[in-house]
Chains A and B, each alone.
Chain A
Amino acid sequence: DIVMTQSSLSLPVTPGEPASISCRSSQSLLHGNGNTYLDWYLQKPGQSPQLLIYLVSNRASGVPDRFSGSGSGTDFTLQISRVEAEDVGVYYCMQALQTPLTFGGGTKVEIK
Chain B
Amino acid sequence: QVQLQQSGPGLVKASQTLSLTCAIAGDSVSTINGAWHWIRQSPSRGLEWLGRTYYNSKKWVYDYGGSVKSRITINPDTSKNQFSLHLNSVSPEDTAIYYCARTHSRGWSWYNGMDVWGQGTTVTVSS
Contacts and interface: CB of A to CB of B under 8 A. Distances in A.
Interface stretch (B7-15, B26-34, B86-94, B113-121): B113-121
A73 interface: no
Contacts of B118: 48
B117 A48 contact: yes
A49 B49 contact: no
If over half of B's interface residues share one DSSP class (helix, strand or loop), that class is named, otherwise mixed; here it is strand
Interface in B27-80: 37, 46-49, 52, 63, 65-66
The range of chain B's interface size is 20 to 34
B119 A48 contact: yes
B117 A105 contact: no
B113 A49 contact: no
The range of chain A's interface size is 20 to 34
A61 B117 CA distance: 14
A36 to B, nearest CB: 10
B19 interface: no
12 contacts: A33-B108, A48-B99, A49-B99, A53-B113, A54-B112, A54-B113, A60-B113, A94-B114, A96-B111, A101-B52, A105-B46, A106-B46
